[in-house]
Amino acid sequence: MHNVGFEQVSAAITSLQVVNHIGRVTHIWQGMVEVSGLAEIAAQADLVQIQPRTGAPRMGEVLGLSGGNISVLPDGDCAGLQIGDEVVLLGGTNIAPDDSWIGRVVDPLGQSLDGQPILQGTQTRALKGEVPNPTARRPLGGGLRPE
């Protein structure tokens, strides 16, 4: 078992969200969901959790911001979603890996899939890396030459 240090406890406390920003579904079309009430605080690529009145909650990603609404691409289909369902803004896609994750099964967001608690590391990292400048990349090489 991995020893829990002060750094892990401090990181867990720091990552707690004190306030939940909640919006409402206003429009559902072609696999997209439009949400009101979060446009002033949401950012491109933020994560949200859609909480339908019936069925399990599902994650989604903010794809567009316009006026007072945001456009969300939910994970999975929109079946069962209704106008007025709650949408909780979770924020950016950062994870904090820890050495205790070695040998564990985690999802792309760093959540445990084996039903056991998982320790968060002390340093958060962006889930999506920086795109390298194409002109600064090394050459691909000679390739195959016909004989």
Contact 86, 24 (CB under 8 A): yes
pLDDT grade for 147, boundaries at 50, 70 and 90 = low
**β-bridge pairing 94-95 and 58-66:** unpaired
Name the token pair of 4: 């829990």
In whole angstroms, what is the distance from residue 93 CA to residue 90 CA? 9
The one-letter code for the residue type at 9 is V
Question: pLDDT tens digit string along 45-57?
Answer: 899 999 999 889 9
- At 63 the pLDDT is 95
- At 38 the pLDDT is 94
DSSP state of 55: S
DSSP state of 119: -
Q: What pTM was computed for the model?
A: 0.68
Looking at the predicted structure, is the pLDDT value of residue 92 above 60?
Answer: yes
- At 1 the pLDDT is 46
